[in-house]
Chains A and B, each alone.
Chain A
Amino acid sequence: MTRNQDIDTLLRSLDAADHQGNANTPRARADLQRILSSDSVPAPRQYSTPSTGRGRLSGSKPRAARRVALIGGMVAAVTAGLIIVPSLSGGDPAFASWTSAPAGMTEQDRAAAADECRASNRNVGEGMFTDDAETSEVAIAERRGVWTTVILTGPGGFSAMCITDDSAGLFSRAMTGFVGKPVGDAAPGPRELRATALGTATMSAGDLSVAAGPAGSDVVGVTYKSRNNENVKATVSRGQFAFWVPGNELKDASTHGVEVEVTYRDGTKGTSILSL
């Protein structure tokens, strides 16, 4: 019993699936109606800001107050911290839609995402970065599945990053990120990368590992080989790079470093170790 055909035949005879499920069972029909009654496109972005009560979704439960936290290696590189708006329910559980390659965004979506990121940073650190955020420019705006990542930059090395679940419009929107200014001189050389955010955050969808920061003028591409052996492509734009992956595989990267492949403007490639 070694021929492929025999193996396939025997394998099919041991199928664990019951072959009874179909789209016409009461449960399947109920699920279909529930799915169709949900929004198929992201709802207008709104944030809960406890001090003003602004932005609570109509008909939803009051969202938990935004927590301001310093998490992982991000602390060492910036003077502020990491913002988390936990998702209560809905959204993209377990980052199911995440993709290793980023997709671009329309100008309209970029502007909306940037405004939301600025708004979310307004009260972080008792408002110490409000002015920086308001005058900041969009360096990166990308999508990975339903997840939007925005990096804002401004004078003095200011940067803010927001990773948002765009699909959670029905109930609440999950977000994580950081805001701050580098402690020292963060300007990288032409072929260098400098991480200002490197570590792991936790959201209701699970852990995610983030790497972001300034990129030298000759850097046009950054690729990270994930633990799943996926080539995770960073977005490199306007002197910044950013990528993230589901899971906690970069939790020790701030101290141990993590290798990435860098593509330079002249077409050559090299490696760089990110650390804080």
Chain B
Amino acid sequence: MSHLSRAPDREHTFKLLYEAVYSDLIRFVQRRAHPDHAEDVVAEVFLVVWRRLDDLPHLHGDARAWIFGIARNILLNAQRGEQRRQALGVRLANAAATSHLDAEVDLVMQSVDFGRAWRLLSEVHQEALGLAVFEDLNAPQAAAVLGISPVAFRLRLSRARRALRLLLEHLPQPSGMPAAVSLGRTTTP
């Protein structure tokens, strides 16, 4: 874990941070919101970061998690007043559209099943798995994003993995439907 450069100049510090985190942040948002809005959300997040730069954690990994937490709050709060949500679901790509798997039908079918199971998983569990797998955050960092304790996060992640495994093992198969047709019907929200 590297230490974030603490230049004496706020602007310089912010530019370094912007360069370092932008790619990860836009991916974080793309996974959880409509891709068309991702750049707008990222700009909004960085504006908050700019104004709260004094609160920036010193360690790069912690700073990255802190920024994800701000993004999460912005995305969650956008729902307030309409449908209150406690977690941000994570979108997956369309299994049928992932070209690198096209040649291997078994893998494609695994992906299709996985996509179906994922959509049955609660947003709370999607969120825990997403932070651990996609954002590659350790438990304290992911816990900071969610505003819970590391112990609570580890428990949540464990439950999420168990829930996903159960879904995968007990997923109802489309009856009388050949694999190719099943694959063609796959969609992702």
Task: Tell me the A residues contacting B by CB distance below 8 Å.
Answer: 1-2, 4, 7-8, 10-19, 21-23, 27-28, 31-32, 34-36, 38, 40-41, 92-98, 100, 145-146, 167, 206-207, 227-230, 246-248
A22-B101 in contact (CB<8A) = no
Q: Majority SS of interface residues in chain A?
A: loop
Number of interface residues of B (CB under 8 A): 59
Most chain-B Cβ atoms within 10 A of its Cβ — which of A4, A16, A18, A228?
A16
Contacts of A246 in B (CB 8 A): 77, 80
Please report the number of residue pairs spanning A and B whose Cβ atoms sit closer than 8 angstroms: 149
State A98–B80 Cα separation when bound (angstroms): 14
State A248–B81 Cα separation when bound (angstroms): 7
A207-B70 in contact (CB<8A) = no
B19-A2 in contact (CB<8A) = no
B36 to A: closest C-beta gap in Å: 12
- Other than the known A31-B39, A34-B43, A228-B86, what 19 A-B pairs have Cβ atoms closer than 8 Å? A2-B165, A7-B161, A11-B114, A13-B100, A16-B30, A18-B30, A19-B23, A21-B23, A22-B22, A22-B23, A23-B23, A28-B42, A93-B44, A93-B74, A94-B77, A97-B70, A98-B73, A206-B81, A247-B80
11 contacts between A and B (CB under 8 A): A18-B27, A21-B26, A35-B50, A36-B14, A96-B48, A96-B73, A96-B77, A146-B51, A246-B80, A247-B80, A248-B81
Contacts of A96 in B (CB 8 A): 44-45, 48, 70, 73-74, 77
Chain B, Cβ-Cβ closest to A169: B51
